[in-house]
């Protein structure tokens, strides 16, 4: 047993909530209006302004938002959506749930983002959309991606779950392009507990999301039940129950004002990890993208490859847990999971870069209130483990 096991457990992520969030949630509880209402309206207006988006629609999660955005495309059986294997299940699942086929394209081994040149080769007669994921908060190369989409008449639904306040060539994600979906899960860069927002330039998609997030009703509950609203409504489709509550928006309103502070703290820690690992040649880390960008530093990832580190990734995860340090696993390449293999015929070897990365990647602890002492503990634990592994 080392002294680490006596230290408190260090999680890989932790939300930073202040008295403002707590007081606002209490105010919601006391107000008598818990679900979608004035605070959701205010939060949507704040997000629209902050992200520079033509339309912003709050939803119960990014998964719900991706599902609704995909449904709005009206996919028919056999229609294809191009995406990356190095992502969370929700990206692929929502394509399937909306009736589409996820067509995977390997990642760039440097940035871990979808390889846009390979996207060009994967476009076929049934391709309807592209769903890029801005992995860890590093933007995908959107100019060539959008020119491909324009050339072939494809929709682009950006999975921005990692990428709130990511900038591509000086522009914030959400302020340009087709459609974006951001996540407010507690592990993400800002939180509402569970929650998400869909931003889009397309008024028809905005309208579809707005109706489908609440039972297919043409008006939300606030409009129906507040004094200003009318009780009369129409159902125009069998919709979902994907609305955000005022309890969630109460948290989000205050998180949004502190988001840049969160990202600054993450960036400082990421740059410090970079310095601390500068001469660790055994440890592969993603390379910055070769275009102007602002990274949102949702994740700080390294590859633990057995030949170089002397230990395989899964044993490394266990060894760090023994030292009371939590790590994330983002992500095992999607084509290795049972469902996608059985349904779409994917098999090991199909996407070698994503597969190699997914088999060795770990997300190190990174959150706004993390101290440099905690960070030093992570690095010291890694040094011990690698040293012991090499014998």
Ligand X SMILES: *Cc1c(COP(=O)(O)O)cnc(C)c1O
Residues marked as catalytic: 188
CA-based nearest residue to 167, from 52, 265, 49, 330: 52
Measured from the CB atom, the residue of 134 and 377 that comes closer to ligand X is 134
Measured from the CB atom, the residue of 162 and 323 that comes closer to ligand X is 162
Length of the chain: 391
Please tell me the distance from the alpha carbon of residue 158 to that of residue 152, in angstroms, as a whole number.
17
To the nearest whole angstrom, how small is the minimum distance from the Cβ of residue 379 to ligand X? 25
Please tell me the distance from the alpha carbon of residue 390 to that of residue 31, in angstroms, as a whole number.
61
Please tell me the distance from the alpha carbon of residue 332 to that of residue 334, in angstroms, as a whole number.
6
Interactions with ligand X, residue window 113-142 (CB under 6 A): 133
Interactions with ligand X, residue window 181-210 (CB under 6 A): 183, 185, 196
Dihedrals φ, ψ of 229, to 5°?
A: -85, 180
To the nearest whole angstrom, how small is the minimum distance from the Cβ of residue 6 to ligand X? 33
To the nearest whole angstrom, how small is the minimum distance from the Cβ of residue 235 to ligand X? 26
Please tell me the distance from the alpha carbon of residue 146 to that of residue 222, in angstroms, as a whole number.
37
To the nearest whole angstrom, how small is the minimum distance from the Cβ of residue 298 to ligand X? 8
Interactions with ligand X, residue window 36-95 (CB under 6 A): 61-63, 87-88, 90-91
Measured from the CB atom, the residue of 112 and 273 that comes closer to ligand X is 112
Report whether 167 contacts 138 (CB < 8 A). Answer: no
Measured from the CB atom, the residue of 87 and 360 that comes closer to ligand X is 87
Size, binding site for ligand X by CB under 6 A: 14
To the nearest whole angstrom, how small is the minimum distance from the Cβ of residue 91 to ligand X? 5
Q: Which of 106, 115, 159, 246 binds ligand X (CB under 6 A)?
A: 159
Please tell me the distance from the alpha carbon of residue 237 to that of residue 230, in angstroms, as a whole number.
20
CA-based nearest residue to 75, from 154, 16, 184, 142: 154
Q: Which residue reads 């067509």 in tokens?
A: 103
Mapping DSSP to helix (H, G, I), strand (E, B) and coil, where does residue 251 land? helix
Measured from the CB atom, the residue of 190 and 309 that comes closer to ligand X is 190
Report if residue 163 touches ligand X, rule: CB under 6 A: no
Mapping DSSP to helix (H, G, I), strand (E, B) and coil, where does residue 86 land? coil
To the nearest whole angstrom, how small is the minimum distance from the Cβ of residue 137 to ligand X? 10
Beta-sheet pairing, 80-83 with 127-131: parallel
Can you name the residues that pair with 200 across neighbouring β-strands?
A: 55, 179
Please tell me the distance from the alpha carbon of residue 41 to that of residue 26, in angstroms, as a whole number.
18
Measured from the CB atom, the residue of 84 and 375 that comes closer to ligand X is 84
Measured from the CB atom, the residue of 198 and 217 that comes closer to ligand X is 198
- Across 191-228, b (16+ Cβ under 10 Å) vs e yields bbbbbbbbbbbbeebbebbbbbbbbebbbbbbbeeeee
Q: Which stretch binds ligand X (CB under 6 A): 14-22, 154-162, 288-296, 338-346?
A: 154-162
To the nearest whole angstrom, how small is the minimum distance from the Cβ of residue 151 to ligand X? 26
Cα angle vertex 254, ends 223, 138, to 5°?
105
Which residues here bind ligand X, judged by CB under 6 A? 61-63, 87-88, 90-91, 133, 159, 161-162, 183, 185, 196
């Amino acid at each position: 047993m080392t002294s680490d096991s006596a230290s408190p457990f260090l999680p890989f992520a932790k939300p930073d909530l202040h008295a403002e969030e707590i007081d606002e949630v209490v105010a919601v509880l006391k107000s008598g209006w818990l679900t979608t209402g004035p605070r959701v309206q205010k939060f949507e207006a704040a997000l629209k302004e902050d992200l520079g988006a033509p339309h912003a629609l709050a939803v119960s999660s990014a998964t719900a938002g991706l599902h609704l955005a995909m449904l709005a495309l009206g996919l028919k059986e056999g229609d294809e959506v191009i995406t990356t294997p190095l992502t969370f299940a929700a990206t692929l699942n929502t394509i399937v749930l909306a009736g589409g086929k996820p067509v995977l394209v390997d990642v760039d081994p440097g940035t871990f983002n979808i390889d846009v040149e390979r996207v060009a080769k994967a476009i076929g007669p049934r391709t309807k959309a592209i769903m890029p994921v801005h992995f860890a908060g590093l933007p995908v190369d959107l100019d060539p991606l959008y020119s491909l989409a324009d050339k072939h008449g494809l929709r682009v639904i950006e999975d921005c779950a990692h990428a709130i306040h990511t900038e591509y060539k000086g522009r914030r994600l959400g302020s340009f392009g087709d459609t974006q979906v951001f996540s407010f899960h507690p592990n993400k860069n800002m939180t509402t507990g569970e929650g998400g927002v869909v931003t889009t330039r397309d008024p028809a998609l905005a309208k579809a999301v707005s109706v489908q997030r609440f039972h297919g009703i043409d008006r939300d509950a606030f409009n129906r039940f507040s004094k200003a609203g009318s009780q009369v409504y129409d159902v125009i489709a069998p919709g979902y129950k994907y609305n955000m509550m005022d309890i969630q928006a109460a948290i989000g309103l205050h998180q949004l004002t502190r988001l840049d502070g969160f990202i600054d703290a993450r960036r400082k820690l990421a740059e410090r990890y970079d310095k601390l690992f500068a001469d660790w040649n055994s440890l592969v880390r993603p390379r910055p993208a070769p275009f102007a960008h602002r990274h949102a530093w949702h994740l700080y990832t390294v590859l633990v490859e057995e030949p170089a580190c002397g230990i395989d990734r899964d044993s490394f995860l266990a060894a760090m847990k023994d030292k009371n340090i939590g790590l994330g696993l983002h992500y095992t390449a999607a084509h290795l999971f049972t469902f996608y293999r059985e349904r779409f015929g994917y098999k090991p070897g199909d996407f070698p870069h994503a597969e190699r990365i997914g088999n060795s990647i770990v997300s190190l602890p990174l959150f706004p209130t993390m101290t440099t002492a905690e960070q030093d503990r992570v690095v010291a634990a890694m040094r011990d483990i690698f040293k012991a592994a090499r014998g």
